[in-house]
Chain A
Amino acid sequence: MVEITSPHFKENAVEALSDENLQKAMRHLRGNFTAKRAAAAAALPEFEALRDNARDIKNHVLTHLDLYLEAYEERVTAQGGKVHWAADAQEARNIVLDICRKADAKTVTKGKSMISEEIDLNAFLERNGITPVETDLGEYIIQLRGEHPSHIIAPAVHLNIDQVREDFRRAHSHLPPDRAMKEPESLLREARGILRKKFLSADVGITGANFLVAETGTSVIVTNEGNGDLTQILPKVHVVIASIEKIVPTLEDMSQIVRVLARSATGQEMSVYTTLSTGPRRKEDPDGPEEFHVVLLDNGRSSMIGTEFQDMLRCIRCGACMNHCPVYQAVGGHAYGWVYSGPMGAVLTPTLIGVDKAGHLPNASTFCGRCEEVCPMHIPLPKMMRSWREREFERHLSPVSYRSNLKLWAWFAKRPALYRPLAGLAMRSLSLMGGRRGRFSALPMAGSWTKDRDLPAPQGGTFISQWRNKRGRT
């Protein structure tokens, strides 16, 4: 299983902050993705209208999810494909394994899929004697390193070229050890040469799906490398693994949402490839798989419907929320301790692994609101993080010292007659202690603050007491 380190978010974060390579990569991400998204949004006059429309499409789907899923299954079946329903990760893994075994598969090629990460498919296949080969360059790199993605669309964004060069020298030991690999292009060429052979020898190809189209039974992937196409066309069996909320009613709906997806993600107008696949190879088709399977994963999503977390199911996994999140920008994706990170992970992860394990994630936000501002689907991410905090508070999952301090403060805040003299006394004392410097470099009770920052001292005397003395009225 993917080791869940979300309970150690704080320790993970401290480690991430002192990781020079990671910090370099995060600086690059900060400037790059945000500027490109802003330019793409500004260049399209109807961008805001498209966002509203995309939100409305998904809202409609979520109120009729059962209907559209059944319609989708009917279309897939009519075209000779098969839909498999998986209630949880274990069921999904078993279904995939069963398909692979029936195909007598030794190796499977894989397009990029976060559902594969969510159900930890690679480790499971390996344990069962099947070799999974990631074909997205970023995924390929992290597979070589035994890592998991740190970003939902840029899985290796935490790495720099020097690290990848070392990985390639280590993993591709059949190539001349003194080869230069100076330019990024040379690394790409090398990976491509190796993957080309894997594509041709794979028995099964597994891809995710960005959309499932109910009216046609089509699954859609958007990629920039074309690896997804080779994964799904060349092997004799194609398996799509997707979660249930990926459904949209029509091709028209799909193309509406596609227009906000890449712009929000990478700032591209469209990804390089938008690939539609509908059923197995027909007689007149020049190529394509003999078998076409779709594994539809629920894994707790249907339980979000009708709750304050339903809006999260609109998410199209563009990654804009993480690219713009000051916390994600500071610590990167791995600190979040499981598959999904950034604001979308802070909302989704507690649903999938339990808020008792993922409790830090919805708390580790300044509520700056930038995620919601850039989310193409208008998902109210801060509001939902607050909803998780409420559940934690109700279940007494927040730390005892924090709760008791908060309760004590609230007790006074509700009693102005006691709050006022106490606050006045405290501020006068702090002001005197702050003295001529006007700030503290160290202060008991505020140690975590004064470790790296000074604390400006209060001026002394509260506004309310001074106002009462000067004006004597409300």
Chain B
Amino acid sequence: MREVRESAGSRTGSRLKVGLFVTCLVDLFRPSVGFAAVKLLEEAGCEVHVPLSQTCCGQPAWNSGDRTDTADIARQVIAAFEKFDYIVAPSGSCAGTLKKHYPEVFKDDPAWLARATAFSVKVHELMSFLTDVTGVSKVDAGYEGMATYHDSCSGLRELGVKGQPRALLASVRGLKLREMKDAEACCGFGGTFAVKYADISNAIVAEKTANIEASKPDLLLAGDLGCLINMAGKLKRQGSTVEVRHVAEVLAGMTDTPAIGDGKGKGR
């Protein structure tokens, strides 16, 4: 069984109520990451809630300079999630938007700024929530093979996610981790950037996949589905056999589904 250090919730006798912000990409492209997150959170002793009204964090609008739509979407997210003890997302990018950018969205709206600020302190990226808040230090999962880990930009630089996923991965039976060169360099996704400046984005991801291949892994992991879809898309186009998965899938022991960009029957 997974070891769960006594959490804040269990000390007070009640389980932590966690609102899972599943993120639009996980919701639409890879629900299995959402279920992996639920499993990890529940095993960490949390009571997981999924507000059904959630759509997206609003980052596409925010990064396109559309402050009005961002604010509308942010109000919707805050209203749906502010009642929970914590809000957790399996993405550094979306958690970063909720935690670091929502207060900025409402900088000229004192009432909502107060709500956004109170909300933002409860927001965590999944890996950092598990290790830093609930105190999980090991998982009960196995994966035979060599992995390499890409540090997604927002998680790394906005939220300080670096050691947490590696610490948890160290407890996965059979899994070895070999760091790639420039693991902290951007993969070139950047949301709408990948579509607006596709040629530049492609050049950046080609550099990334060269570094991935050079580390000779069986498995590429990261904590953000946007980056993973981008890197998997490039690897598969290049004919790579590297399996690409969200780190939560491996930690939850849910690797029976096909990996990202792989066809059916390829899961392990």
Contacts and interface: CB of A to CB of B under 8 A. Distances in A.
A224 B66 CA distance: 45
Contacts of A456: 29, 229, 232-233, 236, 260-261
Contacts of B55: 412-414, 416, 419-420, 423
Contacts of B28: 423, 426-427, 458, 462
A458 B29 contact: yes
B61 A410 contact: yes
B66 A463 contact: no
Given A366-B153, A373-B157, A416-B52, A17 B200 contact: yes
A467 B22 CA distance: 11
Contacts of A435: 263
Contacts, number: 218
B61 A406 contact: yes
Interface stretch (A125-133, A178-186, A444-452): A444-452
A368 B62 contact: no
Size category of the A interface is 35 or more
A441 B237 contact: yes
A370 B64 CA distance: 20
Nearest to A466: B31
A330 B50 contact: no
Interface in B164-211: 184-186, 188-207
Interface in A342-381: 363-370, 372-373
Contact of B54 (A17, A416, A471): A416
Given A364-B197, A364-B200, A438-B264, A369 B158 contact: yes
A468 interface: yes
A437 B263 contact: yes
Nearest to B264: A436
Q: Which of B35, B50, B186, B266 has the most CB of A within 10 A?
A: B186
Interface string A314-334: 000000000000110111000
Contacts of A365: 190, 193
A474 B65 CA distance: 32
Nearest to A369: B157
A390 B61 CA distance: 10
Q: Is the interface of A mostly helix, strand, loop or mixed?
A: helix
Contact of B190 (A367, A372, A389, A448): A367
A459 B69 contact: no
A441 B52 CA distance: 33
B190 A416 contact: no
Contact of A398 (B65, B184, B189, B234): B65
A82 B72 CA distance: 56
A369 B261 contact: no
B184 to A, nearest CB: 8
A64 B233 CA distance: 52
Interface in B44-65: 49-56, 58, 60-65
Contacts of A252: none
Contacts of B2: none
A453 B31 contact: no
Given A390-B67, A391-B65, A464-B22, A459 B30 contact: yes
A10 B198 CA distance: 10
A439 B261 contact: yes
A14 interface: yes
A421 B22 CA distance: 17
A414 B72 contact: yes
B57 to A, nearest CB: 9
B131 interface: no
A222 interface: no
A454 B207 CA distance: 16
B5 to A, nearest CB: 27
B233 A366 contact: no
B103 interface: no
Contacts of A412: 55
Looking at B51, B61, B65, B236, which has the most chain A CB atoms within 10 Å of its CB? B65
A394 interface: yes
A409 interface: yes
A452 B204 CA distance: 12
A-B CB proximity, top 5 nearest? A366-B190, A389-B65, A393-B65, A368-B186, A448-B198
Interface of A: 10, 13-14, 17, 326-327, 329-331, 363-370, 372-373, 383, 386, 388-394, 398, 402, 406-407, 409-410, 412-414, 416, 419-420, 423, 426-427, 435-439, 441, 446, 448-449, 451-459, 461-464, 466-468, 471, 474
